[in-house]
Amino acid sequence: MKRREFLVAGVFSVTAAAAFPALAHDEHIPDYKMPEEYLPREVRLKTRFEPFEVHVDPGQFALYWTLPNNRAIRYSVGIGRPGLYHAGEFFVGAKRKWPSWRPTVSMIAREPQNYGRLADGMPGGINNPLGARALYLYQPGRGDTYLRIHGTNSPGTIGRRVSNGCARLVNDQITDLYERVPLDTRVVLHPIT
């Protein structure tokens, strides 16, 4: 399947703001002033997917939470830098609010100047790289892949290839997605085409 085949056929709702007048909110999260094209919106998909799955389209910097009747909620995301994005099938093996974070061994080896001082990790909080919420991606037989769908307090990283492999949403949007996605949900990170 070519990537273009599963993209949005048209906006199903009137506007992003009308579709989502208020995202799930945490009093510790600031409101992010995102351009309208980066706001969540309900869309109709060209390709049929099972409802209640997560699909990441790296070419569009989009994450889709699929719904019945070939609809989805589209969120804008930042994805892995070149060579660090990993396509595949996963499932949500854990969920955390205000998760702690520790760089992986490969992150420290790749960029010791940035990550070496953080080898012991850091507690959850607004400045934590995983943001307000995180969905932990697992694979059968492998367990935790160290890939996450998580929050960020850096809106300028959305719509860009900036991460060490994870998909990131601004904190108010990951909080909304987090409430929708249960454990064991199927997650597909589609290939870059």
Q: What is the DSSP letter of 4?
A: G
Sign of the alpha-carbon torsion through 129, 60, 56, 172: positive
d(C-alpha 66, C-alpha 45), whole Å: 9
Catalytic pick among 25, 86, 166, 190: 166
> Rounded to two decimals, what is the model's pTM?
0.85
The predicted structure's pLDDT at residue 76: 96
The predicted structure's pLDDT at residue 22: 52
What residues have CB less than 8 Å from 100, skipping those under 6 apart?
121, 122, 123, 124, 128, 130
The predicted structure's pLDDT at residue 6: 52
d(C-alpha 171, C-alpha 25), whole Å: 9
Summarize pLDDT for 58-116 with one digit per residue, the tens. 999 999 999 999 999 999 999 988 888 999 999 999 999 999 988 888 888 888 888 88
Residue 4 has pLDDT above 80, yes or no: no
Residue 55: active-site member: no
User: How high is the mean pLDDT of the chain?
Assistant: 85
Residue 14 has pLDDT above 60, yes or no: no
Number of H helices, E strands in the chain: 4, 12
Residue 142 has pLDDT above 60, yes or no: yes
Residue 150: active-site member: yes
Section 31-42 average pLDDT: 88
Output the domain CATH number for residue 160.
2.40.440.10
Q: End-to-end CA distance of the chain, in Å?
A: 10
Section 33-51 average pLDDT: 91
What DSSP element (H or E) covers 114? helix 112-115
The domain total for the chain is: 1
